[in-house]
Amino acid sequence: MSSPNNSSPWKLEWSDDLSVSIPEIDAEHQHFIQLVNALNEAIVARMEVRAIQQRMQAILEDATAHFAHEETLFKEWNYPDAEQHAQRHAEVLQALHEIMHGFDKNGLDYEWIEAGLQVKQALIEHMLAEDMKYRDYCRTLGK
């Protein structure tokens, strides 16, 4: 994960390390990364608050749909950690709502940057820590 070799420390890039080996989910995760990058670009370019909020909202909507999709797949797979993973999803969504709520009320530069970093952190950490667990499970199923 990462941004080792480019000029912007904000920009995330997809790498095969992030693949869960399920094409439809990989595509959604890639889209996620694009949305997070779009948010970070808006912050770095100091776009107006409204543009930043719209990008945050797009991430929130995308995350909500993506999480629901994963949870549907867990049922199909009889994934044993489905409940715990769904709990993590709920926590991430809650965190995103709180970040957006906090962001609504203020607009200092460092607060924008902080909000953007928190959004990025919450989503990327989830992908790396939690989604990789079902990747490993699916591999044991030979999926």
Footprint on this chain of Fe ion (rule: CB under 5 A): 70, 131
CB of 54 to Fe ion, least distance (A): 22
For Fe ion, the closer CB: 102 or 129: 129
For Fe ion, the closer CB: 62 or 114: 62
CB of 124 to Fe ion, least distance (A): 10
Are the beta carbons of 2 and 13 closer than 8 angstroms? yes
For Fe ion, the closer CB: 99 or 131: 131
The closest of 51, 37, 26 to 107, measured between CA atoms, is 51
127 phi/psi in degrees, rounded to 5 = -60, -45
For Fe ion, the closer CB: 43 or 70: 70
Q: Looking at beta carbons, which residue is closest to Fe ion?
A: 131
CB of 66 to Fe ion, least distance (A): 6
- Reported as half-sphere exposure (CB side, CA atoms, 13 A), residue 73 has a value of 18
Whole-number Å distance between alpha carbons of 92 and 70: 14
Two structure tokens written together for 88: 């993590």
